Amino acid sequence: MFIIAVATAGCHLIDDDLTVCGVDALINYELRLVTEVQLQIEEKLSSDIDKPVADALKAWSAPYYSGSAHDLDMSFFSLDGTDELLEHKSDIINANQKSYTLFIPRKDYRHVAVVNIADNKNVRLEGGEYASSMRIVQRNADTLDSHNTAVYAARMPMYMADVDTNLTFNVRLYMVNCGVALVLTADGSTIPTMRDMVLTGTATGFGLNDSTFTYDKSRPIRAEKVMDRCYAVLALPSPEPQPAACGQRKAGQAAMADDALWKVQVFTDMPDGTVTETELSFPYALRAGSLEIIKVQMNDDGSVSVVGNAEVGVTVTLDWKEGNTQELITG
């Protein structure tokens, strides 16, 4: 947790109206994790032969799922119906706890806070002039790299206009993006070599005023190589399943490609110089703050088979050619 002391006891420097003088307020910002990732990795990769993979995946995930803050963006919007930005401040935190003083007029605000957005190479803030238009937006490209920071966000009303006593606000920020890790079992074929993993079907934006994700044109996101047996990627979440679609597929039945909420493409190099592509289709949602660990077994033809999950659909393309990736853009 890091703590920001917001002092509103003095008048705003550019406003002589005494009605903007306020009271002392303390804002406690706390980053909350919805997934115990380290424990999840230990449970999913518990065997001795998987320990090197577990250790490598823990190291990869630690910067994202540690609940640490590098930078903080704070916006204070009007609650009088205009929805406009009244105060804004950003700062470098670089610690789990930080205290400083921020002077703002004594008014009622809708407060929006975002953490770890400044250095993210794939997403940015836009529309910050009004609360209703403020969004986290993913950049547009044919293929994106894995997100390089875990973004956390929160919003809450802050009523200060008619209060004469000291105030304390507890702001809990939750992770906006999520992770997917693909782990090869040690007992699979050693003939092919996995060279790439791509995630598709994830969100392209996040509305901070109403906490809704948008999926206007999802782009493939390339995973990072954690080690030879493991690739991992950080991205925005997938859509949620629609009620009508939920009843069309029986429990335990593999998802069809058209019914998938999100997909993973695995590319393997064969000894004859060809490439095999396996497309994995997932019928359940990939949610913010989660880390989905997928265990797969390598087959002799370069395809992969999911271990322990019959609901995942599998489509294999032998002798895959470069350029087919463009067909995988959804939305």
> CA-CA distance, 23 to 5, in Å (whole number)?
12
CA nearest to 170, candidates 75, 290, 21, 32: 32
2-32+65-175 — its CATH code?
2.60.40.2100
pLDDT, position 36: 87
pLDDT, position 220: 95
Q: Which residue has the tokens 């306020």?
A: 22
Same-fold call for 2-32+65-175 versus 177-328: yes
More confident residue, 292 or 29: 292
Give the fold, CATH level 3, of 177-328: Immunoglobulin-like (2.60.40)
**Two structure tokens written together for 251:** 């429990």
Counting runs of H as helices and runs of E as strands, what totals does the chain give?
Answer: 3, 23
> CA-CA distance, 293 to 44, in Å (whole number)?
8
pLDDT, position 105: 82
Dihedral sign computed on CA atoms, order 26, 111, 115, 176: positive
CA nearest to 166, candidates 22, 2, 18: 22
Q: Which residue has the tokens 């993006």?
A: 177
Give the CA distances from residue 60 to residues 173, 200, 216, 314, in Å, rounded to whole numbers and listed in that order. Answer: 22, 21, 29, 27
The packing angle between helices 51-61 and 37-44, to 10°, is 160
pLDDT, position 16: 41
Residue pair 156/171 in contact (Cβ under 8 Å)? The answer is yes
pLDDT, position 253: 54
pLDDT, position 294: 97
> CA-CA distance, 201 to 236, in Å (whole number)?
9
Average pLDDT over residues 262-290: 96
Length of the chain: 331
pTM score, whole prediction: 0.87
Tally the C-alpha atoms within 13 A of residue 242's C-alpha that lie toward its C-beta. Answer: 6
Q: Which residue has the tokens 């489509």?
A: 315
**CA 288 distance to own-chain centroid:** 5
DSSP 256: P
Distance between the two ends of the chain, CA-based, in angstroms?
Answer: 38
145-198 pLDDT, tens digit per residue, is: 999 999 999 999 999 888 777 788 888 899 999 999 999 999 988 889 999 999
pLDDT at residue 328 greater than cutoff 50: no
Mean of all residue pLDDT scores within the chain:
86
Residue pair 61/179 in contact (Cβ under 8 Å)? The answer is yes
Domain ranges of the chain: 2-32+65-175, 177-328
> CA-CA distance, 152 to 175, in Å (whole number)?
4
CB atoms within 10 A of CB 185: 17
Average pLDDT over residues 257-280: 93
pLDDT at residue 18 greater than cutoff 80: no
pLDDT, position 17: 47
pLDDT at residue 217 greater than cutoff 50: yes
